[in-house]
Chain A
Amino acid sequence: MSDIHNDMEAQMEHIRHSRDVVHRHSPGVGKILDLAVNYVYDAEKANREGREVVWTVGLSECPLFYACGAVPLAFTELGRLGSAQAMSVAEGLFQIPRETCSMVKIIIGEYFLRRDATVKRLYYRSGSCEPFNIAFELIKKYGFDTRVTDTGFKPDDISQERYDNLTEYYKRQVRDTALWISGRPLDEERLSVEMKRYNRAIRKARTIMNLRRRHATYIKSLPAMFVLLGSSHFYGKPEEYEDALDLIIEEMSALREGEYDDEVVRLVWTGARGQEFGVYEAIDDAGGGVLGWCIPNTFEAGFDESKPPLDAFVEFQIGGKNSGTTSQACLVVENQIKKSDAVGIIMYGYVGCSFGSIDVELKREYFRKRNIPSISIDGTFQVGPPTGQLVTRVRAFVEMLS
Chain B
Amino acid sequence: MSVSKHVLENIREDLFEDMFDHGPTVGLDIGSRATKGVLLADGAATAALEASGVSNRETADSVLQRLLDAANLKRTDLACLVSTGYGRITLRFDDIPSRILTEISCHAMGAHILNPATRTVIDIGGQDSKAIRVEPDSGKVVEFIMNDKCAAGTGRFLEKVAQLLEIELDELGNCALRSSHPAEISSQCVVFAESEVISLKAGGVSREDIAAGIHLATARRIRSLMRKIGLEPTVLFTGGTANNPGMREALEEVLEVKMGDSSLDATYAGALGAAFYAGRFARERQLSYGNYI
Chain A residues bordering chain B, tally (CB within 8 A): 14
Inter-subunit contact B146/A392 (CB<8 Å): yes
Q: Is residue A37 within 8 Å, beta carbon to beta carbon, of the partner chain?
A: no
Residues on A with beta carbons closer than 8 Å to the beta carbon of B102: 392, 395-396, 399
Q: Which one of B103, B141, B142, B149 contacts A392 once the chains associate, using CB atoms below 8 Å?
A: B103
Q: Closest CB of chain B to A401's CB: distance in Å?
A: 9
Chain A 367-402 interface 0/1 with B at a Cβ cutoff of 8 Å (1 = within): 000000100001000000001111111011001100
In the complex, what residue of chain A is closest to B133 when comparing beta carbons?
A400
Q: Is residue A285 within 8 Å, beta carbon to beta carbon, of the partner chain?
A: yes
Give bound CA distance, A341 to B274, whole Å: 30
The residue among A285, A378, A387, A389 with the most chain B CB atoms within 10 A of its own CB is: A389
Give bound CA distance, A80 to B89, whole Å: 23
Residues on A with beta carbons closer than 8 Å to the beta carbon of B18: none
Inter-subunit contact B128/A400 (CB<8 Å): no
Q: Is residue B271 within 8 Å, beta carbon to beta carbon, of the partner chain?
A: no
Chain B 227-244 interface 0/1 with A at a Cβ cutoff of 8 Å (1 = within): 000000000000000000
Inter-subunit contact B146/A389 (CB<8 Å): yes
Give bound CA distance, A389 to B147, whole Å: 9
In the complex, what residue of chain B is closest to A387 when comparing beta carbons?
B148
Residues on B with beta carbons closer than 8 Å to the beta carbon of A285: 292-293
Mostly helix, strand, loop or mixed at chain A's interface?
Answer: helix
Give bound CA distance, A391 to B102, whole Å: 9
Residues on B with beta carbons closer than 8 Å to the beta carbon of A395: 101-102
Inter-subunit contact B144/A396 (CB<8 Å): yes
Give bound CA distance, A285 to B100, whole Å: 10
Q: Closest CB of chain B to A267's CB: distance in Å?
A: 16
Inter-subunit contact B141/A400 (CB<8 Å): yes
Residues on B with beta carbons closer than 8 Å to the beta carbon of A378: 149
Inter-subunit contact B105/A400 (CB<8 Å): yes
Chain B residues bordering chain A, tally (CB within 8 A): 19
Q: Is residue B93 within 8 Å, beta carbon to beta carbon, of the partner chain?
A: no
Residues on A with beta carbons closer than 8 Å to the beta carbon of B140: 400
The residue among A373, A378, A391, A392 with the most chain B CB atoms within 10 A of its own CB is: A392
Q: Closest CB of chain B to A295's CB: distance in Å?
A: 24
Q: Closest CB of chain A to B280's CB: distance in Å?
A: 12
Q: Closest CB of chain B to A357's CB: distance in Å?
A: 12
Inter-subunit contact A399/B105 (CB<8 Å): yes
Give bound CA distance, A194 to B83, whole Å: 52
Residues on A with beta carbons closer than 8 Å to the beta carbon of B293: 285
Inter-subunit contact B86/A392 (CB<8 Å): yes
Q: Closest CB of chain B to A95's CB: distance in Å?
A: 22
The residue among B89, B142, B292 with the most chain A CB atoms within 10 A of its own CB is: B89
Inter-subunit contact B141/A389 (CB<8 Å): no
Residues on B with beta carbons closer than 8 Å to the beta carbon of A392: 86, 102-104, 146, 148
Interface residues of A in 255-301 (CB under 8 A from B): 285
Inter-subunit contact A388/B86 (CB<8 Å): yes
In the complex, what residue of chain A is closest to B141 when comparing beta carbons?
A400
Give bound CA distance, A393 to B140, whole Å: 15
Q: Closest CB of chain B to A323's CB: distance in Å?
A: 26
Q: Is residue B168 within 8 Å, beta carbon to beta carbon, of the partner chain?
A: no
In the complex, what residue of chain A is closest to B144 when comparing beta carbons?
A396
Give bound CA distance, A396 to B149, whole Å: 17
Inter-subunit contact A396/B141 (CB<8 Å): yes
A388-B86, A392-B86 known; A399 and B148 CB under 8 Å? no
Residues on B with beta carbons closer than 8 Å to the beta carbon of A388: 86, 89
Q: Is residue B42 within 8 Å, beta carbon to beta carbon, of the partner chain?
A: no
Residues on B with beta carbons closer than 8 Å to the beta carbon of A393: 104, 146, 148
Known: A392-B103, A393-B104. 9 other contacts (CB 8 A): A285-B292, A378-B149, A388-B86, A388-B89, A389-B146, A390-B148, A395-B101, A396-B105, A399-B101
A interface, CB within 8 angstroms of B: 285, 373, 378, 387-393, 395-396, 399-400
Rank and list the top 3 A-B pairs by shortest CB-CB distance, nearest first. A389-B148, A396-B104, A396-B102
What are 16 sample pairs from A and B whose C-beta atoms fall under 8 A apart? A373-B143, A389-B127, A389-B148, A392-B86, A392-B102, A392-B103, A392-B104, A392-B148, A393-B104, A395-B101, A396-B144, A399-B102, A400-B105, A400-B140, A400-B143, A400-B144
